[in-house]
Chain A
Amino acid sequence: KQEVTQIPAALSVPEGENLVLNCSFTDSAIYNLQWFRQDPGKGLTSLLLIQSSQREQTSGRLNASLDKSSGRSTLYIAASQPGDSATYLCAAPVGGNNRKLIWGLGTSLAVNP
């Protein structure tokens, strides 16, 4: 059974810091892993998707890594800005079923000017 855990639950940093958000999953036979951003009361914006054959994926100031053997993924945010303040969610599929996602509770990030 796939379970996804994210730590920390909340993070508050000054603007400009580099930071790492962590996601762990129990079933390593995954097809991919997705990171999402959610602003308060809003929808789910896909940030990065890493295929099981990849070790990392980059988009702008965001870099996501995937280590299937240890059941971990990290989201690295470089030079954080107040506009990065949001909840970051990771979602892993149920084993080889790439369409049913199991979600973490998210990390609530506050970047202070």
Chain B
Amino acid sequence: EPEVTQTPSHQVTQMGQEVILRCVPISNHLYFYWYRQILGQKVEFLVSFYNNEISEKSEIFDDQFSVERPDGSNFTLKIRSTKLEDSAMYFCASSPNVAANTGELFFGEGSRLTVL
């Protein structure tokens, strides 16, 4: 069964360093997302991406964050200069095109980011 894959599973970084989290969405999906979950808190929407551009972003997704689909398969989240409060589990998700879409999002296993 097709699945969303994320790398790395865990990354430890120093405050101020740049981090890139990678995702390979399900191959025929057209919508891509990043969500995050700070330990003990709710999962939060960060950004959605469609047709090679951001379709929506939350207040959390400030200038320190960026997303990119550099080729036909990868979808990346970059944090330019990490802060302690960026420590969280980051989830990538994808969903099919609207016409075939039940609205179901398919999530990866997550990338745990620890900022020291």
A-side interface residues toward B, CB under 8 Å? Answer: 31-32, 34, 36, 41-46, 49, 51, 89, 91, 93, 97-105
Contacts and interface: CB of A to CB of B under 8 A. Distances in A.
Nearest to A100: B45
A98 B99 CA distance: 13
Interface size class of B (residues with CB under 8 A): 20 to 34
A91 B33 CA distance: 15
A89 to B, nearest CB: 7
Main DSSP-derived SS at the B contact region:
strand
Nearest to B106: A46
Main DSSP-derived SS at the A contact region:
strand
Nearest to A31: B103
Interface stretch (B64-72, B78-86, B108-116): B108-116
Contacts of B109: 42-43
Given A49-B102, A99-B31, A103-B44, 11 more contacts: A31-B103, A32-B103, A34-B104, A41-B112, A43-B110, A44-B91, A44-B110, A49-B103, A49-B104, A100-B45, A103-B43
